[in-house]
Each structure stands twice: as C-alpha cells, then as structure tokens.
Amino acid sequence: MKRYLQTLVFFVVATAILPMILGTATGRGNDVSITDESEKMTENESSPSKPQTSAPEQPPRDTFRVYVVSDDVTLTLSLEELTTRVLYAEMPASFELEALKAQAVAIRSYILYAAAHPQDDERHPQADICTDYSHCVAYRSYEDAVEAYGVVTADDTYCVMVDAVAATKGEYITYNSEPINAVFHAASAGRTESCKNIWGADVPYLQSVETPESDDVYREKKAFLPSELKSLVEPLGVNTSYNPQSWFTETVRNDSGRVDSVTICGTTLSGKTVRSVLGLRSTNFSVEFVDGYFVVTTVGYGHGVGLSQEGANTLAQNGADYHTILAHYYPCGCIMSPTA
Ligand SMILES: [Zn+2]
C-alpha cells in the first residue's frame, strides 16, 4: 500500500515536472466560445492532404491592442510580433520547425478571428485580446524569458520562434473567405475532439481526426480518498452511499474516446464537469478504486479541439510540412499567403 502510494506520488510529480524539464511552454491551448458555422458548409469541401493556397484580396489587419494582464498595460503590437509572443508561450523551442510553423499559422488565424469576434463579457473593452490564456491567448515576451531563464537561453529560444513566424509571414487559414477560429491544445492521445462535442457547435474545420502521438507524454494519475471525492461531488447534487466501490456505475464515451458522462451514485455528470471539479488535464479519463483510493488516470491535455501540439510535432518528425499538418487538423481550410 505504502509502496503503491509512493509510486503514484512519484508518477504524478514526474508527469508534472517533465514538461518543465523539456521546456514545454506555458500555454495549454486556447479556449473561446464558438458559433455554429455548419450552415456555411458547401457540398464540395472535403479534407485534402494539402490545403488550397491563395493570396488574400486584401492584407489582413496588422496591429492589435493587447492587454498584458501581468503588467496591467495595453500594448499595440503587429500581427507578426504578437504571433511570435504567443508561439513562445505555446510551444517549446525543442519542437520541430514545421510544427512551430504550423502553430504560428494557427495562432495568426486565431488572433484575426478573435479580433473580428470580440467577446461580449467586457473583460477588456480597451483591447482586442488579452494575455490570460483561459480567456484569449498565452503570451511570453523576450523580456519575460530573460527574467525566467537568463539571457543565453532567452536568446537561443526566442530566435527559434522568430524564425518560425518569419518563415510563415502573413499566412493564415480561412474558411468561406474568413479567418478561422483555429483553436489548439497540448495533446490528444489518439483522436482530437470535435467542436460539437465540446462547445455544441458543428464547425466543418473543427472535426475529430486521428492524431499520431503517444499518450504517455501527458499521462497523469491522481488519487482521491472517498472523503475527498465526496466533498467535491456533493455540491453537484451527488449523494454518496456507504460503499465507495459502488459509487461509479456507468461511463459513457463519445466517438473520440473521451468521457461524455459519468454516473456517480445515481447522478449523471458530464465529462467536462468531472474534469473541472477533479482538476483533470482532459476529459479522456478512467477511474479505478484501488487500495481505498479512487485513482483517476487521464491522457491528453486540453479541450482536444483543433491542432494538437504533440501531434503536430509527431507529424513533423515523420516528415510532414506545416501545410500538411494544418490540413490534417483543420480540414476544409484554405491557406492565405501573401506569396501565393
Ligand atoms: Zn481576453
């Protein structure tokens, strides 16, 4: 029992620390409200291995007001500079260049979309976008990196981001001639999630697709005493019974393998709710009762919709270029490139 717990604690700590050792960026993918674009889908659109590429009729907007939450200031940044800073927060410099380039194009698209569809929660009416990754985007400036890692590491890593952004300068993805809401996440372990399963809107370019990545990178185990679990789920209306072994009775998974719902002591909760109250990395989890503990094993990290950063890196390692990666995760999209 003690050895089991020691092993479990080590595993949890190791999986938490490993991304830091590897230089994994601070972002965990983005999250936004999404409107239903399914009605815009036309019959001839499919999932090509390479996206259509064309030149935009007009260059996109180039400057954005960015509310930097940590400094409580609003900056005006160019699209390329903002893309660089978001990329720096989202992916480690150790990732493949083609994966970084794909992420850069996705970020540029996401910024253009977000600025054109401001959220109506009045969180930052003075700015187009903020640096709270749970609201708008993750963000790291060169100065932030110098403070965190020192000049040498900051120089080595920031220039990788600058190169990836410069190699895709001005490129973004469109659907029906509009920048797409190019959401992304850290890892998916097998299949990405559809937008419909997470946010309810059926978006043609945000469908569930296979993603060729290991499910070990962000695998996490968390252990809960029955009393701990009880205190977390009782506010949700779950009346726990005497015998913890019979608390979890039914788990329903959706077509991407993630948990759609869980029934605990006769009360059914959504996978998203359970992820939130237990602080899990994704809705792709399973629960066992072992040695008096509920052990929750989670694979993947993030909402699972759109580009998977780990998957993009694996595809790049296998020889895919960034346009192929983008076509894989955002089917139906068209790349707008000033050089097309
Ligand atoms: Zn925001």
The candidate with the shortest Cα–Cα distance to 23, out of 102, 95, 86, is 95
Contact assessment for residue 284 and residue 300, using Cβ atoms and an 8 Å cutoff: yes
Tokens at 22, concatenated: 């590897």
- Does one domain contain both 111 and 177? yes
Ligand 1 centroid to 29 CA: how many Å?
14
Shortest CA distance to 47 belongs to which of 207, 158, 272, 224? 207
Residue 60 gets which letter from DSSP? P
In terms of residue numbers, what domain contains 165?
13-29+50-215+302-336
126 in a domain, yes or no? yes
Query: Are both 87 and 174 inside the same structural domain?
Result: yes
**196 and 285 housed in the same domain:** no
Are 276 and 323 part of one and the same domain? Answer: no
Query: Does a structural domain hold residue 110?
Result: yes
Q: Is residue 43 part of a domain?
A: no
Same structural domain, 257 and 187: no
Q: Is 174 in the same domain as 228?
A: no
- In a shared domain, residues 227 and 310: no
Distance 135 CA to ligand 1 centre (A): 4
- Ligand 1 geometric centre to CA of 243 (Å): 44
Residue 272 phi/psi, 5° resolution? -65, -40
Q: Is residue 35 part of a domain?
A: no
Tell whether 70 and 176 lie within a shared domain. Answer: yes
31 CA to middle of ligand 1, Å? 10
* Residue type, position 30, single letter: N
- Indicate whether 199 and 239 sit together in one domain: no
**Structural domain count, the chain:** 2
Residue 3 maps to a domain? no
Ligand 1: distance of its center to the CA of 129 in Å? 5
Residues measured by CB to lie within 5 Å of ligand 1, the ion: 130, 135-136
Ligand 1 centroid to Cα of residue 137, in Å, is: 7
Kindly give the distance from the C-alpha atom of residue 61 to the centroid of ligand 1, in angstroms, as a whole number.
Answer: 18
Assess contact for 173 and 150: CB atoms under 8 A: no
CA of 134 to the centre of ligand 1 (A): 8
Task: Specify whether 228 is located in the same domain as 184.
Answer: no
For 258, the token pair is 């993630």
The Å distance, Cα 324 to ligand 1 centre, comes to 30
Q: Are 193 and 77 in a shared domain?
A: yes
Q: Are residues 208 and 246 in the same domain?
A: no
CA of 64 to the centre of ligand 1 (A): 13
pLDDT tens digit at each of 340 positions of the chain: 333 333 333 333 333 333 332 333 446 566 544 444 333 332 233 344 677 788 888 888 899 999 999 999 999 999 999 999 999 999 999 999 999 999 999 999 999 999 999 887 789 999 999 999 989 999 999 999 999 999 999 999 999 999 999 999 999 999 999 999 999 999 998 999 999 999 999 999 999 999 999 888 899 999 999 999 999 999 999 998 889 999 999 999 999 999 999 999 999 999 999 999 999 999 999 999 999 999 999 999 999 999 999 999 999 999 999 999 999 999 988 999 988 7
pTM reported for the whole predicted model: 0.84
Compute the distance from residue 192 Cα to the ligand 1 centre, in Å.
25
